[in-house]
Amino acid sequence: MGAISLRGIEKTYGRAPRANKVIHGVSAEIADGEFVVIVGPSGCGKSTLLRMVAGLEEISGGEIEIGGRVVNDLEPAERDIAMVFQNYALYPHMSVFDNMAYGLRIRRIPSEEIRARVDKAAAILELAPFLKRKPRELSGGQRQRVAMGRAIVREPQVFLFDEPLSNLDAKLRAQTRLEIQKLHGELRTTSLFVTHDQVEAMTLAERMIVMNAGRMEQMGTPDEVYHRPATTFVAGFIGSPPMNLLRGRAEGLGFTAGGQLLPLPAVAPREGDLVMGIRPEHVEIGNDLSAAAWPLRVQALEMLGAERLVYGVLGDTLFIARLDATMPYPKAGDIVSIHAAPAHLHWFDAATTARVGA
Amino acid sequence: MDKRVHFRSPWLPYALVLPQIAVTLVFFVWPAAETLYYSVLLQDAFASKVQFVWFDNFITLFQDSHYLASFKITALFSAIVAITGLALSLLLAVFADRVLRGSSVYKTLLIWPYAVAPAVAGILWLFMLSPSIGMLTYALRGFGIDWNYYVNPGQAMLLICVAAIWKQISYNFLFFLAGLQAIPSSLIEAAAIDGAGPVRRFWTIVFPLLSPTAFFLLVVNVVYAFFDTFAIVDSTTQGGPGQATQTLVYKIYQDGVQALDLGGSAAQSVVLMVIVIALTVVQFRWVERKVQY
Amino acid sequence: MIERRPFLNVVRHAALVVAVALILFPVYVAFVASTLSFDEVLHVPMQLWPGGHLLENYADVMAHGSAKGSSAPVGRMMINSLIMALVIAIGKIAISIISAFAIVYFRFPFRQTVFWMIFITLMLPVEVRILPTYQVAADLGLIDTYAGLTMPLIASATATFLFRQFFLTIPDEYAEAARIDGAGPLRFFKDVVLPLSRTNIAALFVIMFIYGWNQYLWPLLVTTQESMYTTVIGIKRMIPGGDAAAEWHLVMATAILAMLPPAVVVLLMQKWFVKGLVDTEK
């Protein structure tokens, strides 16, 4: 039905010798009815990827299938998709009703049916009192809902969202996020959602695609991406505050990073140049000053009410630990020992940035 | 119109506005007042006898078949120049906007005619359409059309229309292009995704959003046709043949400067003033309001 | 890319090329005519490729004008046009910018009146006040002078409005900081407002220069001596009644000369020009 298949997608701008390749071979299978979030920093190519699925950008290489049909050569109108834009893209000279009815009128849907669909969408999105208004008379949140309404009434196979929440203020963003989740629960249409905000990604995604510099770094559920990041980029991008990453050399039961020898509780998956990762919430702080300890020179503390963040230096790297507010905490200038359970240590190859071990 | 910050000085602001006010008073307000004054007088060319006649001059004017003909000619002229000019430049702007490459080259090549003086535009077309030596005349003759605007009033009108439109296309093109480029591409993309093809997109999305620009240009073109085209008429047909191309402005010139009919030409000037004021008011009230999304 | 049908693109390019050709055709014809001899230019149909008399014709017309109709040397006319255009452009900008500054940054009695008075000038193009304005110019002894050519055209509402609109967007903080620093209004104008207005001034310069250079009706009225003719009216004067009698090759050379400076200004300052046009009308 509405399954999406991305096979070896590439995008190049310009022509040789000044060609600029922005997307390098992205492949993914998205099941019918799945809500997939494409997340990554600015310029990673996520919007370009989405626009290729929509048909607004040409596909330089690879194939895209929607609902079993290869759509590379199909116009956007022929792909049975609907898109919600970052700046809503509502037709300013038409009423809310006409905005939502536009696509349906073009498809020659009878007006009673149009009326029915628009009313239904307006009910779901609480837009019924605004149907006769023009977009400029609405607030940002209302306009966003009209944009979604326009997509819903089309009853397409796929919804495409291009950073729709970026223009809303924080509170509205959280609210709209919940509405989108609720909507997906009801409609269960396959959805591709692009955002640069990893919190949005974590909360909305059934699975997510983490992108960086035109490459797909990892695709998985929020849990998988959070607990088993596939590369150092994913490890550092997902999670706030970010995972601590230490470059060094593993030999036997020791890991030397930044001039500091850190005894390991268990052997690293491999010897050699590795990057070790520990999430701030998995760090335990103690006062063990023996040789087996990892010494952290505390520099600052952030009191956040329910928790505390300890900023320090381990070896030569900035290191963050997260403590529950009930735990005792050090103060700036102290030297404390930190350690983490072997299961909470992530290992990555220093050269390829890929995960090694379990 | 108010800013929070104001400087204080008893004399400086007056000194700053003085040059402009001085010129305005001497060369605008005073002559305009005089025009109004003359329009309600009857005097001979040597101003030896002056008679206050109220609106008689105006009544005579509107009963004068030549004047009414002039009105009709000006109206026809403006309509042709405005509508043709707008339609052609809109078409070109749409093409230039959608062309993948070279749009800036086309833009450069299409806007420079703005720099050409209306008088020169008239003379260029005069040369090409001259009944005796014009090359276009020759070409037309090849098609069996006998071109002589000295004799044929319709052709004379065509000549000034062509010259006026030729000159005005670049101005309209510029504004239309700017208007088109101001439409966010996401709107066009949304319409495309909704299923609208290029023609439908143009009429249901682009054109409505362009209509403030179009309306503004309509007013500007009409004003242009009324006033700036004096030079075109004077350099080509001088209002002829007969009075076939005697626009209102040209008639004022002929009656005032050549025939020295002060009262009549002043009355005509007043009528024209009223028209300009009306058009300017329309432009400021309506157009400025509608440019708002 | 929506509808990337290459065929449509070709059609668009073709239409644009045709349009450009049609727009340029009259100028091309004029150019060719300006390079021909008297006999060649009168030949029907005139040839479409340039002849060999380019330098000769231009030199001739610059120095001696045309033998038929008016015989004012075009070189002199170009200088008149240049003076007129420059004085009008610079003059309009200068008096408009200080007026706008006064209106925006000062509160003084009759400020509204002043504003409206400037506004009316928008509605009074020279064509509706021909005779009385001429009368005033004559009374002031301005006929056949550069002052007469330029002064009546120097008050401009559009420039004042543009500057006023622009000044209203300058953050108040600049003026406040200037006052705290002890700068008086003139200092503020010179050191802050003027530099900020540079692009607007450039844009207006292009438009006003063209406006001044292309003036027709007013120079026609206010000049009687050939030595004061501007290029634009000079061309018309070269065509005595009945078109076959004119020295068309020289007339066309003059036409090209008349088109050159404004075209050069537009092309060199295209960016500002476009901005200025679109801004003055907003």
Task: Write down the pLDDT at residue A346.
Answer: 94
The whole-angstrom separation of Cα A55 and Cα B264 is: 67
How sure is the predictor about B293, in pLDDT bands with cuts at 50, 70 and 90? very low
Kindly tell me the burial class for residue A295, based on how many C-beta atoms sit within 10 Å of its own C-beta (0-12, 13-18, 19 or more). middle
Reply yes or no on whether the pLDDT at C244 is more than 80: no
Reply yes or no on whether the pLDDT at B292 is more than 60: no
C177 in reach of chain B (CB within 8 A)? no
Q: Please report the residues numbered 130 through 159 in chain C whose beta carbons come closer than 8 angstroms to any beta carbon of chain A.
A: none
Amino acid in position B77: F
Output the six-digit token pair for A197.
């905000």
Tell me whether residues C121 and B24 touch, CB distance under 8 A.
yes
Nearest to A23 by CA among A56, A62, A54: A62
Q: What percent of chain B shows pLDDT beyond 90?
A: 13
In order of B29, B167, B181, C9, C156, the CA distances from B209 in angstroms are 39, 26, 11, 24, 31
Name the 3-class secondary structure at B41: strand
The whole-angstrom separation of Cα A318 and Cα C118 is: 66
Output the six-digit token pair for B272.
């024209």
How sure is the predictor about B138, in pLDDT bands with cuts at 50, 70 and 90? confident
Q: Which fold has domain B56-290?
A: MetI-like fold (1.10.3720)
B195 in reach of chain A (CB within 8 A)? yes
The whole-angstrom separation of Cα A135 and Cα A246 is: 51
Nearest to A102 by CA among B192, B180, B185: B192
C187 in reach of chain B (CB within 8 A)? no
Task: Write down the pLDDT at residue C44.
Answer: 76
The rounded mean pLDDT for chain C is 83
Alpha carbon dihedral B247, B252, B254, B258, in 10-degree steps, equals -170
Q: Give the highest mean pLDDT range of B156-165, B230-239, B240-249, C226-235.
A: B156-165
Task: Write down the pLDDT at residue C94.
Answer: 93
Task: Note the ipTM here.
Answer: 0.82
How sure is the predictor about C281, in pLDDT bands with cuts at 50, 70 and 90? low
Task: Write down the pLDDT at residue B17.
Answer: 87
Contacts of B99 in chain C (CB under 8 A): 9, 12-13, 16
Task: Write down the pLDDT at residue B1.
Answer: 44
Task: Write down the pLDDT at residue C231.
Answer: 87
Give C174-199 pLDDT, tens digit per residue.
Answer: 888 888 888 888 888 888 888 888 88
Find the CB nearest B110 among C23, C130, C185: C23
> A146 to chain C nearest CA, in Å?
24
A78 in reach of chain C (CB within 8 A)? no
Give B247-288 pLDDT, tens digit per residue.
Answer: 888 888 888 878 777 777 888 888 888 888 888 787 777 665
Are residues C213 and C206 in contact, defined by beta-carbon separation less than 8 angstroms? no
Domain ranges of chain C: 6-280
How many Cβ atoms sit within 10 Å of the Cβ of residue A354? 11
Picking from B151-165, C179-193, C238-252, which range would have the lowest pLDDT averaged per residue? C238-252
How sure is the predictor about B291, in pLDDT bands with cuts at 50, 70 and 90? very low
Interface test with chain B among A48, A53, A85, A107, by most B beta carbons within 10 Å = A85
Give start-end residues of each CATH 1.10.3720.10 domain in chain B: 56-290
Interface test with chain B among A50, A53, A56, by most B beta carbons within 10 Å = A56
Q: Is A188 or C237 the better-scoring residue by pLDDT?
A: A188
Find the CB nearest B5 among C98, C172, C232: C172
Interface test with chain A among B101, B185, B188, B194, by most A beta carbons within 10 Å = B194
Q: Which fold has domain A4-235?
A: Rossmann fold (3.40.50)
Output the six-digit token pair for A277.
């990762």
Mean pLDDT over C39-49 rounds to 79
Reply yes or no on whether the pLDDT at B44 is more than 80: no
Task: Write down the pLDDT at residue B287.
Answer: 61
Task: Report pTM.
Answer: 0.81
Output the six-digit token pair for C122.
């928008």
Tell me whether residues B191 and A102 touch, CB distance under 8 A.
yes
Picking from A53-62, B62-71, B83-92, which range would have the lowest pLDDT averaged per residue? B62-71
Place of tokens 């349906």: A104
Domain ranges of chain A: 4-235, 242-349
Contacts of B194 in chain A (CB under 8 A): 77, 102-103, 106, 150, 154
Domain C6-280 has CATH 1.20.1250.20: no
Amino acid in position B212: P
Picking from B56-65, B115-124, B164-173, C271-280, which range would have the lowest pLDDT averaged per residue? C271-280
pLDDT per position in chain A (358 positions), as tens? 789 999 999 999 887 778 889 999 999 999 999 999 999 999 999 999 999 999 999 999 999 999 999 999 998 988 999 999 998 899 988 999 999 999 899 989 999 999 999 999 999 899 999 999 999 899 988 999 999 999 999 999 999 999 999 988 888 899 899 999 999 999 999 999 999 999 999 999 999 999 999 999 999 999 999 999 999 999 999 998 999 999 999 998 889 988 888 888 888 898 999 999 999 999 988 887 777 778 899 999 999 999 999 999 998 899 999 999 888 888 899 889 988 888 999 999 999 999 998 7
Q: Please report the residues numbered 3 through 42 in chain C whose beta carbons come closer than 8 angstroms to any beta carbon of chain A.
A: 3-4
> A86 to chain B nearest CA, in Å?
9
Task: Write down the pLDDT at residue C114.
Answer: 86
Each residue of A230-265: b (16+ CB within 10 Å) or e?
bbbbbbebbbeeebbbbbbebeeeebebeebebebe
Kindly tell me the burial class for residue A18, based on how many C-beta atoms sit within 10 Å of its own C-beta (0-12, 13-18, 19 or more). exposed
Are residues C167 and C101 in contact, defined by beta-carbon separation less than 8 angstroms? yes
Q: Which fold has domain A242-349?
A: OB fold (Dihydrolipoamide Acetyltransferase, E2P) (2.40.50)
Contacts of C1 in chain A (CB under 8 A): 56-58
φ, ψ at A351 (rounded to 5°): -80, -50
> C6 to chain A nearest CA, in Å?
14
Are residues A292 and A263 in contact, defined by beta-carbon separation less than 8 angstroms? yes
Which 3-state string (H, E, C) describes chain A? CCCEEEEEEEEEECCCCCCEEEEEEEEEEECCCCEEEEECCCCCCHHHHHHHHHCCCCCCEEEEEECCEECCCCCHHHCCEEEECCCCCCCCCCCHHHHHHHHHHHCCCCHHHHHHHHHHHHHHHCCHHHCCCCHHHCCHHHHHHHHHHHHHHCCCCEEEEECCCCCCCHHHHHHHHHHHHHHHHHHCCEEEEEECCHHHHHHHCCEEEEEECCEEEEEECHHHHHHCCCEHHHHHHCCCCCCEEEEEEEECCEEEECCEEEECCCCCCCCEEEEEEECHHHCEEECCCCCCCEEEEEEEEEECCCEEEEEEEECCEEEEEEEECCCCCCCCCCEEEEECCHHHCEEEECCCCEECCC
Task: Write down the pLDDT at residue C242.
Answer: 59
Task: Write down the pLDDT at residue C13.
Answer: 86
